[in-house]
Amino acid sequence: MKHPLSILVATAAIASFLPSQQTYGSGTAGTGGAIPRLGCPQAWIGNAGFGLDVDQGRGGAVCIAVASLFSTNQTAYGMNILADPAGTIGTYFLALGGTPNAAGAGSGRLPLSLANVPATPSFAGLDFYFQAFVLDPAGPGVGGLSSTNGLTMSLTMPRELAVAAGSTHYRLDGAGNGQAAAAPYSAVVGFAFDNAGLDVYATTSGGTLWHGDLRGAQPAWTALNTNLGTTVAAWDNIAIQAETRWAWIAGRGTGTQMEMIAVDVDPQSSAYGQQIVQTNGLQAAIQPFGAWAMSPDGHLLAAASPWNGSLAVVDTDPNSATFLQIVVATAIPASSFAPGFTVNNAIAWDATGLRVYIARQNQNTNPGEIAVYDLASGWIDHDPSTAFLVDHIGPNSIPAVPLPAGLRNLAIAPDGSRMFAVGSASGSGRALRIDLPSLAYVLPSGTTSLAQADLLAVTPDADVLAVSLPGKIVFYDTATMAETGSYTLGSGVVVGDLGWR
C-alpha cells in the first residue's frame, strides 16, 4: 500500500532534533556477503526530487521499503528489524538495477516527492523511520531477504540561504528569489541553522551570539549571549554539535586569549544561551587562530593559526577521556611559493572525519594552495617526486589544480566526493569544483564574472553552490558548474557571511 507523504506527515505525532540522513543500526547480508544500504538527501519541505536511495543489494532484485512512525532494534527471522512494524504507515516497492543476481550490484531510487507538504513550522522536525528489504535467496529472511540499515528522515523547513551584509539579513531560495530585512546584528562572521531550520544562530566579530526565530514571516532576533569576546575568525565562526546541542564559537570570552567556547543552544535546557565549556591553551599552542572547523561527527575540531604556522586538533567529544585536550599539534609545511608569507583562511573536514583541508592564501598574486592533513599518516604530499618538499593541492600538485590567488573559502560535500574553493586578488578571481580523490576540476560556466569572488556556501545535499561577490550572490548547479541564477543585493553591498538551511 502506497501513501502520499503529505498524508504521512498529517498522521505523524512526534518530532526530534535528529538531522536528515541519520542512519542507525546494521543491515543483514545477502548474496556475496553484501549488506544493502539505505540513504536519502535532505528532506526539505517542497523538495519534489526527494527520494530514498538503495544500493549494494542483489542485482535486479525487488526491494521493499517500509515507513514507520517509530524506530526499533529487534531480531526476527535472522534479520535486524529497525523500523517498528507496529508503527508502519507505508510500504513501497522498487525494482533495483544492476547485473541480475550479482552481489552488491543492485541500486535504485524510490521517489517520494515532498512538493505537496505544507511549508508550515508545525511539520518541521517530524521524523519518519525507514528500512528496506531486498529479495535475496542468500539472505536469512522469510523466503530469502537481506536488509538495510535503518534511516531517520527528518523533515526540515524549505531550502534557504542566509546572507548577512552589514545590518541587513537576506533570505534567498537559490532560484533568484529572496527578501531583505533590517537586523539588529552587525559584522556577522558565522551562520548555523538548527531545529529543522526553525532557528538560525549568527555570531559577530564583536562577540555576540544572536538567535533568529524563523517561525514567523520575518526572523525574530534575540541577543542570546553577549560575552563571547572579540575574535579574529573572519567567517564560518559557528558549528552546532548535534549530540550536545552546543554551539562552538571562537572567541576570547572574558579573557584575552583566543579559545573555543561552547554555548548551550538547546531551548529546552535550563542553561540555554550560557557558556558550558571552553578550551584552555589553544592560542598558546598555535597563536591567535582564525580558521577552524568541526568534524562531521562533532568529536574533533581543527584550528589553524592565521598565517604560516600550525594546525591543532582538539577533542570535542564530552564522553572522551581527552575531552578539550589538543590531540594533534603540527607545523603546516611551507608554501611552494616564495616569499613564503601565507594566510590560512578556511578549514574543511572530509566525510570520514580523518582528513583536514586548509585553504591557504599565498602572498601577492601567487595562486592559493590547499594543505591536507591525514590523522593517521600526517601531511599529504601531492607530488612525491620533489624531495624534501610537501606539495599542497594547487599548481604544483599532481595533477595540477588552478586555485585562485587570494584563496578565501572552502567547502566539502557531505559525502566527501567534491570540494569547492573560491577566492580573488588584484581583479582576478575564480570558483571551482574539485573532485576527490582524483583532483579533477571543473570551472564554472555562465555570464557573471567572478573577478571579485569572495565567499561560498554549498547546500547540505551539495547540489547548489552559492558564491558571493560585492553586491551579488550567484548560484551554480554543482553537477555541471553551470550558472543557474543570481540575486542582486545592491551596489557596494559587501557580504559578511552566508550559510544554507
Residues 1, 383: Cα–Cα separation, whole Å: 56
CA 358 – CA 347 distance, rounded (Å): 5
Cβ–Cβ < 8 Å for 408, 455: yes
Q: 441 vs 170, 415, 417, 444, CA distance in Å?
A: 31, 17, 12, 10
> 308: closest CA among 284, 290, 296, 325?
290
Residue 21's pLDDT is: 66
pLDDT at position 444? 98
Q: Is residue 331 part of a domain?
A: no
Q: Are 116 and 6 in contact (CB under 8 A)?
A: yes
In angstroms, rounded to a whole number, what is the distance separating the alpha carbons of residues 1 and 30? 25
Extract long-range pairs of 313-317: CB within 8 Å, 24+ residues apart: 313/356, 313/375, 314/260, 314/279, 314/282, 316/241, 316/248, 316/260, 316/262
Please name which of 194, 264, 250, 276 lies closest in space to residue 16, comparing C-alpha atoms: 194
Q: Which residues pair with 188 in a beta bridge?
A: 204
Question: Residue 244: what pLDDT?
Answer: 96
Question: Residue 149: which domain range?
Answer: 5-154
C-alpha angle 114-36-104 in degrees, rounded to nearest 5: 120
Separation CA 91–CA 71 (nearest Å): 15
Q: Is residue 323 part of a domain?
A: no
Find how far residue 26's CA is from the centre of its chain. 24
CA distance 241 to 295: 10
What's the CA gap between 145 and 134, in Å, rounded? 5
> Is the residue at 233 inside a domain?
no
Residue type, position 228, single letter: L
Tally of domains in the chain: 1
The grid coordinates of residue 360 equal 591557504
pLDDT (0 to 100) of residue 455 = 96
Look at residue 147 and tell me if it is in a domain. yes
Distance of CA 426 to the CA centre of its chain: 30
Q: Is residue 329 part of a domain?
A: no
Spatial CA neighbour of 410 closest among 429, 391, 433: 433
Specify the 3-state DSSP secondary structure of 93: strand
With respect to residue 37, please indicate whether it lies within any of the assigned structural domains.
yes
CATH of residue 105's domain is 2.60.40.10
Amino acid code (one letter) for 16: S
The reply to whether 411 falls in a domain is: no
Structural domain contains residue 289: no
Distance of CA 420 to the CA centre of its chain: 12
Q: Are 435 and 441 in contact (CB under 8 A)?
A: yes
Q: Would strands 378-379 and 369-374 be described as parallel, antiparallel, or unpaired?
A: antiparallel
Beta bridge partners of residue 223, listed in sequence order: 210
Residues 6+ apart with CB under 8 A from 197: 44, 124, 156, 157, 158, 160, 214, 501
Rounded Cα–Cα distance for residues 423 and 113 (Å)? 37
Which 8-state DSSP code applies to residue 471?
Answer: T
Helices and strands per DSSP (H, E), number in the chain: 2, 39
| pLDDT tens for the 501 residues of the chain, in order | 333 343 343 333 233 333 346 899 999 999 999 999 999 999 999 999 999 999 999 999 999 999 999 999 999 999 999 999 999 999 999 999 999 999 999 999 999 999 999 999 999 999 999 999 999 999 997 889 999 999 999 999 999 999 999 999 999 998 889 999 999 999 999 999 999 999 999 999 999 999 999 999 899 999 999 999 888 777 899 999 999 999 999 998 878 889 999 999 999 999 999 999 999 999 999 888 889 999 999 999 999 998 878 999 999 999 999 999 999 999 999 887 766 688 999 999 999 999 999 999 998 889 999 999 999 999 999 999 988 889 999 999 999 999 999 999 999 999 899 999 999 999 999 999 999 999 999 999 999 999 999 999 999 999 999 999 999 999 999 999 999 999 999 988 999 999 999
Other residues' Cβ atoms within 10 Å of the Cβ of residue 471:
15
- What local confidence, expressed as pLDDT, does residue 341 receive? 81
pLDDT of residue 482: 98
